[in-house]
Amino acid sequence: MSEPTTAPPVIRLRGVARTYPGAVAVHALHPTDLDIERGDFVAVVGPSGSGKSTLLNLIGMLDRPSAGRYEFSGTDVSAIRESERTALRGRRVGFVFQSFHLLAHRTATENVALAQLYVTTDRGARNDHAVRALRTVGLDHRLDALPPTMSGGERQRVAIARALVNRPELILCDEPTGNLDSATSAHVMNLLEELHAAGLTVVVITHDPAVAERARRVLTIRDGRILTDTDRREAA
């Protein structure tokens, strides 16, 4: 009888580092080993300049490591061609940023539909998928709204819908509540928790203890090194 196979982690870093060359080299991330399993909900915390954004950019394939090996769902993405990285990122990773990055002259539906350009050329299908994603985040009444007419919480929900529309394996959030008041932040985190409960792997970069408190696992990073890795389920 064959042994049951175990799915590889969504993220596996082995000795991954990022150094920016110059008269004095900047070690933004020292050699790091990290596994993030499918279905994890991870918060990454640390002071400004600690390496949080560098880690997110490497995990999200927005940047390449200077050293080490990065496997995404079992695929070594450390050295593949940029076109392959772009396609992989577009199909399987969703991003949510602090500043929303929405096009002001495009409706909510159009903003979300644009995220599917690497997935399908069928404009009607892109529109249908965008509407479905907006309904998932509770914005079925704002499908045709322009971002300047929306509240900060609504714009962040559009950004989350855009991250979801391609049905990614991983959602990366960089300070997703940084521009929101506490009540709206709580609503956004409730939504991320619901998405996690539905099976998505979520990684949140944050400086807000209230946001980190909602995660199942908390990584503390300082001076380019992961200092602690706390599983809050075990702590409980």
> What is the average per-residue pLDDT within 109-128?
84
For residues 228-232, give the mean pLDDT.
86
Q: In this predicted structure, what is the pLDDT of residue 1?
A: 46
* CA 183 to chain CA centroid, nearest Å: 22
The string of pLDDT tens digits covering residues 162-201 is: 999 988 999 999 988 888 888 888 888 888 998 899 899 9
For the chain, the first-to-last Cα distance in angstroms comes to: 37
pTM for the whole structure: 0.89
Q: For the chain, which domains are there?
A: 38-61+82-235 (3.40.50.300)
Tokens of 55: 């880690």
